[in-house]
Each structure stands twice: as C-alpha cells, then as structure tokens.
Amino acid sequence: MNIIKMNDLDITGKTILIRSDLNVPIKNGVIQSDARLLAALPTIELAVKKNAKIILMSHLGRPTEGYYEKKYSLFPIFEYFKKKLHYTKVYFCSNYLHNIKLKKQEIAILENVRFNKGELNNDDILSKKYSDLCDIFVMDAFGSSHRMQSSTYGVAKFSNIACAGPLLIKEINCLTKLLEKPKRPMVAIVGGSKVSTKFNLLKKISKLADTVIVGGGIANTFLAIDYNIGKSLYEKDFILEAKKIRDKYNIIIPIDSRVGKNFSETAISIIKSPYDIQQNEEIMDFGDKTIQKVIDILKESKTILWNGPVGVFEFPNFRKGTEAIAKTIAKSNAFSIAGGGDTLSVIDMFNIKNDISYISTGGGSFLEFIEGKKLPSIHILEERFKTRKMN
C-alpha cells in the first residue's frame, strides 16, 4: 500500500490539519468512553514534539447538517484535550473556515465538521476551505475512513500534501496481518443485532477463520432456521442465506439462551434450550452451556477477532455471555483484535483494554476493511501518492 506517511515528512513549523476520530459517547456533557481519544493522542503529541502548528477536526454523532446542536458539540472533547495537553496552548474554534493562526506547538480543535453544510456529500467548495487551512493534511481517522466526505476524502484531494497519520498506518498494518497471516486456530466472534449489516463480514470471516461464534440478533437469525424463537430479534429475509453459511462453515450457534418476557433492565432472566422458547419470550444472551462451550473454544485459539456483544450487555441480567467472552479473551495468550463501537463499550465496562492485543478504533471501516473493500480515504491517499511521485 503506497501512501505518504506523516512520519516521513518534515512538519516543523508547518500547519497540519489532522482528521481524527473523536466521535465518542457523551452524556450530559460527560465523556463516557475515551478509548478513541486516547488512541488519537500519540499522533497529536508527536506533532507537538515536531514543532508543528496543529489543527484537529472530527465529527461527533449525527446532527442535522448545517445546524448547531449543543449535544453534538466537540467542546467537551476540547476540555478533555486541554487537560491532557496542559503543556501547550489548546484553542476551541467554532468559526474556522477562512483562517486559523497558530504558533508552533499550539493546537486548535475545530467544532463538529457535521455542522458545516456540504460535509456529508463531499462538497468541493467545503473541501477546498478545509484544505486552505493547512500546509499538510493528515488522515488519522481509521474509524471514518470508509466515508467519502469533505473532512475525510475531499480535503485530501485538494490539499498540497495529503498523508496518513501513525494511527491509520497502525490500523492498516494490524488488520492486514490478521487477514494475511493469522496464527491458527483462528476464532472470530461476530455479535450485534442485525445479520444484514454483517452478512458480507460473515462470509469473508467464515472463509478465513477456523471457527465463527455468532451472538445477539445475528445468532437468533441462525437459530430461526430450525426453531421458533418467540419474539426474539432476528431477520426473516436472511434465514436462507444464514443456512447456506451454517451448512458450509464451522459456525457456533447457541445451544441454550437467556430469555426474558420483556425488553427491560428489570426483566427476569431464564435459561432455555432453543426448542423450549415460548411465543412471549425473547432471547437476550447466551445460556450457561453455550458460554462454557465458547470459553473452551477461545482457550484453544491462537488468534481472536472480536466484533460485537453476544447479548444485551447493558442489562445486568443479560450480560453474562458478553462478560465471559470479554474476560476469557483478556486472559488469553492469543493475538486478539477487537473492533466496533459496542465492543469498545464492553471493553471499558470490564476494564480490559490493556489485555487486548489490539483495539481498532473503527466500526463500519473495521468491518469493510475485513470484508476486503477499498476504503475511500485510503484510496485517495494512494492516488495522492501517485500524483506526488509524478510531480
């Protein structure tokens, strides 16, 4: 993969615009998980060390484009970095599309790029305004690299120099290693609510991994092939496709489940075999037999890919399966890669981030990269590499 790397450039005194992934959960102004912020920090610190003038930009949530909404403001993130980077000056900029003046080692954090009209449809005029802010554009947001938007793609197209940041390079190298030379046996855990959004991933991973463990609504769709699963979340239109995958590959489907009669935190958890589930019951977690089976498989693995919880982990009565998987992976000597927003939340919940070999900051980009898709932001960086070589 031929792309210009930030580490290979002399950025001393240059204004660099870093597209980071600072899209973290915020509740009542309080950051709930700083995993992505911590991942972005080394690139920022490196730029400070190299005496650059630093501009950071990111999206946050899904505001109505072109309108300010306080709950989607990056101000809490500015306050977070102001504390972390206390040794230099950090500014917050709301109106920034025309000019930003900084001294060496100073940092400007821009307000949510999705407050700007044209961001989502990769508007050329907006992209050029971004590019005019800097000497060098640094794409470091792997979690947004699957989006063809002004702050991820367009700005790279128009900037004088467009390069990849250390975090983006690290993500690419780590996931490439997983796809090309995994140590075996390799086990993949694919959870989440919808099989439709992860169907291509399942097909790709089923070919690559020795064993695939399915959980959540995805597992329910596989269970629905043979059983009446009551009012459990599943996708009827994907049952036939799920059957094709199950019959061809080594897919581990729950042999028992924790069910409840209503989707709530107070719902009573009952363990049942698939053939015993009643019409008024809903599958919300693995049962104990399934948990033990999964633990035994994980203990024998050399490579683990983990994407998504296997139950409604937000509810204490239905998090046992997800907790068991998280803690087993944490104790494992296998090379483990975890990715996806909910997966990051689980890692934070059980405080195991130091026990996972590599935690990807990507959600959709993580899935698309593993599926073998060319991510737009990486594609434009490759194109800019070619044009730079030609010039």
Half-sphere exposure of 288 (CA within 13 A, CB side): 3
- Binding site members for ATP: 198, 314, 340-343
pLDDT tens-digit profile of 112-161? 999 999 999 999 999 999 999 999 999 999 999 999 999 999 999 999 99
- Binding site members for substrate: 21-23, 36, 59-62, 114, 147
Task: Locate all alpha helices (DSSP H) within 85-134, ordered by sequence.
Answer: 124-132
pLDDT of residue 177: 84
What is the pLDDT averaged over residues 249-262?
96
Cβ atoms of 9 and 161 within 8 Å: the answer is: yes
Instruction: Residue 102: name the closest of 124, 134, 78 by CA.
Output: 134
φ, ψ of residue 119 to 5 degrees: the values are -60, -50
CATH code for 184-333? 3.40.50.1260
For the chain, residues classed under CATH 3.40.50.1260 are: 6-165+373-390, 184-333
Question: What is the value of pTM for the model shown?
Answer: 0.84
Confidence label for 391 from pLDDT (cuts 50, 70 and 90) = very low
Cα distances (angstroms) measured from residue 225 to each of 236, 242, 302, 306, 377: 9, 8, 31, 24, 39
Confidence label for 179 from pLDDT (cuts 50, 70 and 90) = confident
Residue 352 has pLDDT above 70, yes or no: yes
CATH code for 6-165+373-390? 3.40.50.1260
Q: Give the active site residues.
A: 36, 194, 341, 364
Lowest mean pLDDT among 89-93, 110-114, 175-179: 175-179
Instruction: Residue 329: name the closest of 346, 313, 306 by CA.
Output: 306
Helix (H, G, I), strand (E, B) or coil at 301: coil
φ, ψ of residue 360 to 5 degrees: the values are -80, 140
Tokens encoding 312? 């409604």
Per DSSP, 306 falls in state E
Is 302 buried (19+), middle (13-18) or exposed (0-12) by CB count in 10 A? middle
For residues 96 and 162, what is the distance between their CA atoms, to the nearest angstrom?
20
φ, ψ of residue 32 to 5 degrees: the values are -90, -30
- Binding site members: 21-23, 36, 59-62, 114, 147, 198, 314, 340-343
Cβ atoms of 62 and 341 within 8 Å: the answer is: no
